[in-house]
Every structure is written in structure tokens, then in C-alpha cells.
Amino acid sequence: AIPTALMVGTGRGAKLGILIKNGEVLEAVNDVKTVVFDKTGTITVGKPQVTDVVGDERRVLQIAASLEEASEHPLATAILARAQQAQVTPRPVTAFQAVQGKGVTGQLNGQTAIVGNDKLLTDFKLTAEQTAAMERLQNEAKTVVFVGLAQQIIGLIAIQDAPKATSKEALTRLKRRGLKTVMLTGDNQRVAEAVAQQVGIDQVIAGVLPGDKAAAVAQLQQDGQVAFVGDGINDAPALTTADVGIAMGSGTDIAIDSGGIVLVKNDLRDVDTALALSRKTFSRIK
Ligand code: ADP
Ligand code: MG
């Protein structure tokens, strides 16, 4: 009877677009106390767009686009699209480097150029005006990247990635079940908190470098079983560490391979549906 109930459970999941790798995963879902979410591409749509450029727009875009041409980050895609719209042509860059969780650097006309967050700004100083602009934009839930050339910050680019239409409802459902919800992101604290408030997340852990996401999950496991929901290459270790790893179907192959559950429809409400399915299956068995 037990294997039959499990087969029915996983089979029903598959019909709903919730791929559950095996019966153990379905059982583990039943004991989850905390659900941890990646931000970009999981809670948000994952198609960031440039909303504001602070500084000499064409110059800022040209330096940024020149560096981002060699990057595959979603923020790079957004900056390149905006540069193209403004008919700004990127210049050749040498000594390009992508710095995980921070940004990109390179040489432009013999000068050091950077595009990235505050962690990349060790050799650069913001003016009072730039600091004020940064805070205002971050409070609007926009990710701010700094564009620097030859020891000077020449501008800021604000990039927005809207929450998916169903994210808020998904979070409401989980909280109704008494689960704790957490956002774990490499993005800035202020931006993360603004997004968390939009969708209703209990706790924010921001500024986490890609290599540190798994450790953050392990920390949360001290309070009970944890499910982690993510989509990116940098989410794979956290997906494996969590008691239940839930990958978005739109995610990278490595995220999908690391997850015990795959949400084919990329709809976060399916986290709650998976829980309901698990409860139903195991109430029948126990
Ligand atoms: P997430 O956890 O949201 O997927 P990442 O770890 O990929 O984020 O990146 C964290 C932060 O590092 C970004 O919000 C951005 O500030 C900075 N960053 C990373 N890559 C780039 C890039 N190519 N250009 C500009 N900024 C970048
Ligand atoms: Mg992501």
C-alpha cells in the first residue's frame, strides 16, 4: 500500500507540472519548517531592465556595455539592451575579469574600468550625491551597479526585476501553513528588503556570495527542515544542502539536476501544492 500511495502522489505531481524525483523527496517535503528562496529568477521574473542612469548617460552606458559584453550575467544583458537602444557602441576591453557576486572589471583605453556593486568599490569613493541616488534607487527595489573608470565613479545604473505575478500569493499560502519564509540573495540588503516587502517574506539574508549560499542554508537547518527554491548555477550547492531542493523549470541544467523537485511551470504557488500533495500522501500512509 505504501509504494502505491507514493506512486499516486508523485504521479499526481507530474500531472500538475511538479516533478518529484522519488518518494523520499515527497516525504521530506512533509517535514519542512522553513522555505528559503533565491531572489533573481525565482521570486522575480529574472529579466532585469535598466530603469535609471545617473551621470552622463551615454558615457556611463558605453563604459558599462564595453565591460558587460563579455559577461553572461542577467544584469549584463539588461545593460547591453539599454546601450543598444541608446545606440551606444561598446569599445574593446582587455584583461576582462568577472568577479563572482561583485561585478566585472577590465582595461579600457589603458585605464581600469569596473561595473559592479559596492563590494567592487574598494579603490573608489562615492560622492554624497551618488550615495543619495543609490539609496533612493535601492529603496525602490532597484539593483544599483556602479560604473567606474580610472579611480572615479562616473555613474550609476539602476536595474529592476519585477516579482512574478504569482509570487506574493505563493508566499501568503506558505505563511498560512505556518511556515517561515526567507530570501537568500547576492543582491544588496536594501534592494532585497524592498522586494521582500513587495511579496511578503519574513526574513532577508542579502549580500551572500555564491559560495556562501549553502552555508546559509545549513545555518537555517538548525531550526528545522529547510526547503530551498532556486534557479541558478550558484544555487546548486544550496539545492543539494537543503532537506528539499526545489528547482525552477526555467533554471540552469545544474540547478535542475541538483533539485529533488522541479517546478515545470515556474510558478511558486506550486511549492504549496507540493506540500499539500505530501501531506495528503503521508496522511494516507500513517
Ligand atoms: P543573485 O544571488 O541575485 O543571483 P549574483 O550572485 O549573481 O546574484 O550577483 C550578486 C550581485 O553581484 C549583483 O546584484 C550585482 O550587484 C553584482 N554583479 C554580479 N555580476 C555582475 C555583472 N556582470 N555586472 C554588474 N554587477 C554584477
Ligand atoms: Mg537566481
With cut-offs at 50, 70 and 90, classify the pLDDT of residue 282.
confident
Query: What are the pLDDT digits (tens) for 68-78?
Result: 999 989 999 99
Rounded distance from Cα 41 to ligand 2 centre (Å): 5
Asked if the model's pLDDT at residue 86 lies above 60, the reply is yes
Is residue 258 lining ligand 1, measured as CB closer than 6 Å?
no
Rounded distance from Cα 32 to ligand 1 centre (Å): 29
With cut-offs at 50, 70 and 90, classify the pLDDT of residue 124.
confident
The pLDDT score that the predictor gives to residue 283 is 81
For the chain, give every domain's residue range. Answer: 2-44+164-285, 49-160
Give the chain's mean pLDDT: 95
Q: What average pLDDT does this structure show over 182-199? A: 96
Is residue 186 lining ligand 1, measured as CB closer than 6 Å?
yes
Of 70, 88, 29, nearest to 271 (Cα)?
29
Rounded distance from Cα 76 to ligand 1 centre (Å): 9
Q: Is domain 49-160 given the CATH code 1.10.260.40 in the classification? A: no
Is residue 39 lining ligand 1, measured as CB closer than 6 Å?
yes
Q: Which atom of ligand 1 is nearest to the CA of 68?
A: 23
**Integer distance in angstroms from the first to the last C-alpha of the chain?**
11
Is residue 160 lining ligand 1, measured as CB closer than 6 Å?
no
118 CB-contact burial (10 Å; exposed 0-12 / middle 13-18 / buried 19+):
middle
Top mutation candidate among 187, 188, 189, 239 for ligand 1, by most atoms within 8 Å of CB: 187
- For residue 79 the three cell numbers come to 545593460
| Close Cβ partners of 257 (under 8 Å, ≥ 6 residues apart) | 236
Asked if the model's pLDDT at residue 286 lies above 90, the reply is no
Query: What are the pLDDT digits (tens) for 92-111?
Result: 999 999 998 899 999 999 99
Rounded distance from Cα 284 to ligand 2 centre (Å): 36
- The CA radius of gyration of the chain, in Å to the nearest whole number, is 21
Q: Which residues are catalytic?
A: 38
Of 208, 261, 179, nearest to 39 (Cα)?
208
With cut-offs at 50, 70 and 90, classify the pLDDT of residue 123.
confident
As its CATH architecture, domain 2-44+164-285 has 3-Layer(aba) Sandwich (3.40)
DSSP string, 121-162: -TT----HHHHHHHHHHHHTT-EEEEEEETTEEEEEEEEE-P
Is residue 40 lining ligand 1, measured as CB closer than 6 Å?
yes
Q: Quote ipTM for the complex.
A: 0.95
Asked if the model's pLDDT at residue 285 lies above 90, the reply is no
- For residue 98 the three cell numbers come to 568577472
Burial state string for 226-265 with b = 16 or more CB within 10 A and e = fewer than 16:
bbbbbbbebbbbbbebbbbbbbbbbbbebbbebbbbbbee
Q: Rounded to two decimals, what is the model's pTM?
A: 0.89
